[in-house]
Amino acid sequence: MSGKSKRYEEGMATRRAVLGDDWVDRAEAGKTAFDAPFQELITEAAWGHVWSRPDWTKRERSMVTIALLAALGHHEELAMHVRATGKTGTTADDLREAMLHVAIYAGVPAANHAIKIIKQTLSEMEGGGEK
């Protein structure tokens, strides 16, 4: 046992399931004494307390997360979560529908910029093709 809480262990398993081992391994390798407490917080809170809950599927959580990130203008995190859609089951159609909601409830400029990021990220995921 690593000495971490059960919630941390559950969160790390969910984080790996959604983002992939390579992404998490890179994040863990880049962790320093400065950001280690933050990494533990997000692993327990976001991935352990929220993403690990059984009431929604990973697909549903992915759509909501992407819509919120788009609405708030968190573009780097948006691209990261779009890349994770391959593991969550979220489709390009799901993303399009989520962006329509963002446009109405958070504003057209937020959705417009997010759509640009989503299109670019999906294209990169497919090796340059359109999705």
Q: What is the pLDDT of residues 63-72, one digit of tens each?
A: 999 999 999 9
Same domain for 24 and 83? no
pTM above 0.85, yes or no: yes
Same domain for 48 and 73? no
CATH code for position 98: 1.20.1290.10
CA distance 47 to 16: 9
CA distance 66 to 79: 9
Q: For the segment 73-91, what is each residue's pLDDT rounded down to a tens digit?
A: 999 999 999 999 999 999 9
117: helix, coil or strand?
A: helix
Same domain for 47 and 76? no
Same domain for 94 and 112? yes
Same domain for 80 and 104? yes
Same domain for 49 and 81? no
Q: For the segment 87-131, what is each residue's pLDDT rounded down to a tens digit?
A: 999 999 999 999 999 999 999 999 999 999 999 999 999 985 444
